[in-house]
Amino acid sequence: MEKTWILIANGERARCFERAPDHSLTELTDFVFPRASLVGQAEGGDLTGAAGKGHGRTGHAGTQFEPKTQSEDKARASFARQLATYLNDSVTTQRCSALVLIASSQMLGELKPCLSVAAQKTVRRSVISDLTQFTGPELRKRVDRAFELPD
């Protein structure tokens, strides 16, 4: 029987579940990765790239949203590598035989290239969605809906 693991992730949190034949979900682990801007703040760094008031190219004050900083991108990539290592090891040690990835677009884009060849072969479905904030019956319902989406 196939052991299906479901990884639900975004840039700050990931949860891994095992899906039983009756579609119930058992949480295996929970990863939390602080936002890059909070990491920089905690380390006394500046928050360049944070949204807020400033002087844009027009030369007058106003609200502007700066592009994401390189540190945020690096933090997300580091988190994706951490998750991929967990999944790669789980496939190698045969703790799971099928993977379903449900993640935000950016996290899915970072995560998939980090998976080993063996882990990539076990991926049954990849869905762009952020379900990290859901729990209980609502999470199960949304995961079931993700399984019904066309490939």
pLDDT average, residue stretch 44-72 = 52
Eight-state DSSP code of residue 60: S
pTM of the model: 0.76
**C-alpha span between 86 and 100 (Å, rounded):** 14
pLDDT average, residue stretch 2-24 = 94
Question: For residue 70, what pLDDT is reported?
Answer: 79
CB of 54 closer than 8 Å to CB of 64: yes
pLDDT average, residue stretch 5-22 = 95
Tokens (6 digits) for 52: 């807020």
- Which option is the CATH number for 4-42+68-148: 3.40.50.300, 1.10.8.60, 3.40.50.970, 3.30.420.60? 3.30.420.60
72 residue type, one letter: E
Average pLDDT, the chain: 82
CB of 37 closer than 8 Å to CB of 72: yes
pLDDT average, residue stretch 105-109 = 94
Question: For residue 51, what pLDDT is reported?
Answer: 42
CB of 21 closer than 8 Å to CB of 29: no
Question: For residue 69, what pLDDT is reported?
Answer: 64
Residue range 112-139, pLDDT digits in tens: 999 999 999 999 999 999 999 999 999 9
What is the b/e burial string over 6-28, where b = at least 16 CB atoms within 10 angstroms of the residue's CB? bbbbbbbbbbbbebeeeeebeeb
CB of 115 closer than 8 Å to CB of 87: yes
- Whether the CA torsion 32, 146, 81, 85 is positive or negative: it is positive
Domain boundaries in the chain? 4-42+68-148
Q: Answer with the residue of higher pLDDT: 49 or 124.
A: 124
pLDDT average, residue stretch 60-84 = 76
Residue of 46, 59, 60, 12 lying closest to 32 (CA atoms): 12
**C-alpha span between 47 and 110 (Å, rounded):** 23
Give the confidence band of 148 by pLDDT, cuts at 50, 70, 90: confident
